[in-house]
Structure 1
Amino acid sequence: MPSFLEAPVAGAYHLLTSLVTTLQPLTGAYAAVIAIVLCTVVVRLCLVPLSVRAQRGLKARAAMMPQLKQLTERHRGNPERLQREVAKLQSESGTSLFAGFLPTLAQLPFFWLMYTLFSRAVVAGESNHLISGSLLGAPLGTHWPIFSGTPAFLVLAVLLAVVAWFSARLARRQLDETATPLTRRMAQFLPYGTLLSAAFLPLAAGLYLLTTTAWTVAERTILQR
């Protein structure tokens, strides 16, 4: 890993281990699990302004879809003109077609840190104590044993599937009549990508995915209302 990336990893490690040490007298063996959930919640709280902006962007994008369709048909043979007209429409509406991705993009550094912290035996020049934490008997640094009946992984898989189902329902509600069949299929199946991702990630990263996707479903439900 490049040296300039070691500093944030070491800082995150010391912060998380301090939190685990603080929680240990109250939560025992689940101190690391609670620390991951708490850190994820803090990150999502910090991203609430971006989520609000993203929700407004989704609504504005839905309102722009008929005009975008007209522009696409009108300038189908002139991609450069189409790009200018779409940019002009976005500028006039004060939104972007990619506004809905802001919260996801902002979470990527935190997800990378979480994956790194629970994938290395040595962090900041010392033995990684975080990977000794466990959930229902499964170490947080272990990867999903796909053909195993380990309770922690089975519970995580079921909960991720439930959250993905609710997320898919919310995504379908946001689609309007201009959505293509491909877009509708993607909205239906894309949320289940978290379940597939968890199969190749440490248990700690899967726990992060569960917490953040559950937060997203609750947040979108509130913002839509």
Structure 2
Amino acid sequence: MDTIASLFSFITTPVSWVIVQFHTVYGAIFGPNTGWAWGLSIVSLVILIRICLIPLFVKQIKSTRNMQALQPKMKAIQERYKNDKQRQSEEMMKLYKETGTNPLSSCLPILAQSPFFFALYYVLSSIASGKTIGVINESLLDSARQAHIFGAPLASKFTDSTEKVAALGASLTDVRIITAIMIIMMSASQFYTQRQLMQKNVDLTVKTPYMQQQKMLMYIFPVIFAVMGINFPVGVLIYWLTTNVWTMGQQMFVINQNPTPGSQAQDHYLQRLLKSVTVHSEVRSRRKRSVIQAIVAKGADRNENERRFITGLTKAGFAAQPDGTVAKSDTAVAEAEGGPAQRRQQPKRLTKSKRHSASAQQGVAKSSESGDSESKPSLEKDARSGGTSGAGDSGGDAKPTPAGKPASGSARQQPKSGQRKGQQRPKHPSSKK
């Protein structure tokens, strides 16, 4: 304990001073010796610290987004060196160094709070031991020792003995019940926060070491808090429970308003945005316009959630503009209402048997048409000749036709296959055929 005090002595006095200032305010409302005055002072200290850490939290969000942007490259490295784990780790570290990304950035808020945590722990431990610390004098020390939260003194712990708890004016049963409830709530809030991050705000289609790290933290942190919690004073448990609830609410806000691309949270956010645009026919905030602008700029690189959003806009009769606004589009309305039906329908492909049947029918029709066309000219020619063929058959011998000329009224000889139509050139005498 003395080692911790020496390490964090530079912040012990400021922490004790902040607690005293808040106690002065709440003591005037609830009474200086009540647990509400001292408990709310600790809660207010947590809120003040977390407000100061907001810039660090923003940096953490940006680093997380960089990690998400590196997911495709990390997956490619995994596939390329899947049989060489050492080379895979080296390439991952090289990628982190080139892009300036820190995979442990999610731990930064916890690391930044650690000095305040140890300072508060030492302050409350000093109160339990009856020692003055920082700006807490004897009168404030007596007031803090009399303060109880639901029957448990601020300086009592789950592992305290009956005599020590009795010296603080409480019973061991009350202390253990209150501390056990607070430890469970503290661990559950930590687990829920990490689980919410893994299920809703992470692109689960890409498996990377970062994903495994987050999944491991989801189970390890609650266990660590549960084990360490039995040695924490009630005041420190109030501190950690408050900071976990703050983190959970802060995480909910980020997931709802700035989700990770490709995650379930992004799908829900874009569906809400689509509904808002459909109802109001415009994009009503600058942040939403920036989201649509980023989606339009991606082009073919959009993920499934973003493509579904653009399709929904088109069906609603809107077209997303490069500046993040939306505009009515008659083309989009036509395509959404009847565009596919107006397209040219492709003929249905027939089966082989049906194609053969249709071909046979076409052949019969063509042959009948050709027969009619050939018989019609010969009948007309017979009529013009005055029926000489009939007279020759009945009355006398017909004139012999000269060689090489077709007989009168006879059908013209059809050309053979592969032979051109019309009068054929006479063959050379030397030809055998």
TM-score by length of structure 2 reads 0.45
- TM alignment of 1:73-88, pairs within 5 A: 74=81, 76=84, 83=90, 85-88=91-94
> What does residue 213 of structure 1 align with?
244
> What does residue 153 of structure 1 align with?
179
In structure 2, do the counterparts of structure 1 residues 142 and 99 end up closer, same or farther at CA, with 3 Å as the change threshold?
Answer: same
SS, match of residue 220 in structure 2: helix
SS, match of residue 142 in structure 1: coil
> What does residue 223 of structure 1 align with?
254
Q: Which of 170, 174, 196 is the aligned partner of 1:170?
A: 196
> What does residue 190 of structure 1 align with?
220
Of 152-161 and 108-117, more deviation after overlay is shown by: 152-161
CA contact (8 A) 2:9 2:119 kept: no
Cα RMSD between the aligned structures?
Answer: 3.2
CA contact (8 A) 2:74 2:92 kept: yes
Q: CA deviation at 1:115?
A: 0.7
In structure 2, do the counterparts of structure 1 residues 12 and 132 end up closer, same or farther at CA, with 3 Å as the change threshold?
Answer: farther
Q: CA deviation at 1:98?
A: 1.9
Q: CA deviation at 1:126?
A: 4.7
- TM alignment of 1:1-225, pairs within 5 A: 1=2, 5-28=8-31, 29=34, 30-71=36-77, 74=81, 76=84, 83=90, 85-120=91-126, 121-122=130-131, 123-124=133-134, 126-127=137-138, 129=141, 130-145=144-159, 148-150=173-175, 151-173=177-199, 174-175=201-202, 176=204, 177-178=206-207, 183=213, 186-193=216-223, 194-225=225-256
Of 9-18 and 184-193, more deviation after overlay is shown by: 184-193
SS, match of residue 148 in structure 1: helix
TM-score by length of structure 1 reads 0.81
Superposed CA offset, 1:173-210 (max 9, x none): 24534157965752442342323322111111111110
Provide the aligned length of Structure 1 versus Structure 2: 223
CA contact (8 A) 2:155 2:234 kept: yes
In structure 2, do the counterparts of structure 1 residues 14 and 82 end up closer, same or farther at CA, with 3 Å as the change threshold?
Answer: closer
Identity %: 20
In structure 2, do the counterparts of structure 1 residues 5 and 190 end up closer, same or farther at CA, with 3 Å as the change threshold?
Answer: closer
Amino acid at match of 2:220: L
In structure 2, do the counterparts of structure 1 residues 118 and 70 end up closer, same or farther at CA, with 3 Å as the change threshold?
Answer: same
Superposed CA offset, 1:58-112 (max 9, x none): 2321332342344355394766x954x4455335544321222221111111111
CA contact (8 A) 1:168 1:191 kept: no
CA contact (8 A) 1:140 1:203 kept: yes
CA distance in 2, matches of 1:161, 1:54: 22
Amino acid at match of 1:22: V
CA contact (8 A) 2:22 2:44 kept: no
CA contact (8 A) 2:60 2:105 kept: yes
Higher Rg of the two aligned structures = 2
Amino acid at match of 1:138: A
Q: CA deviation at 1:57?
A: 1.7
CA contact (8 A) 1:54 1:102 kept: yes
Q: CA deviation at 1:220?
A: 1.1
In structure 2, do the counterparts of structure 1 residues 188 and 10 end up closer, same or farther at CA, with 3 Å as the change threshold?
Answer: closer
- Please state which structure has a larger fraction of its residues in helix: 1
CA distance in 2, matches of 1:97, 1:183: 9
Superposed CA offset, 1:120-170 (max 9, x none): 131249547144432112111111259835453244234324423422421
Q: CA deviation at 1:224?
A: 1.9
Q: Which runs of 5 or more residues in structure 2 are unaligned?
A: 161-171, 257-433
CA distance in 2, matches of 1:86, 1:166: 29
CA contact (8 A) 1:115 1:202 kept: yes
SS, match of residue 249 in structure 2: helix
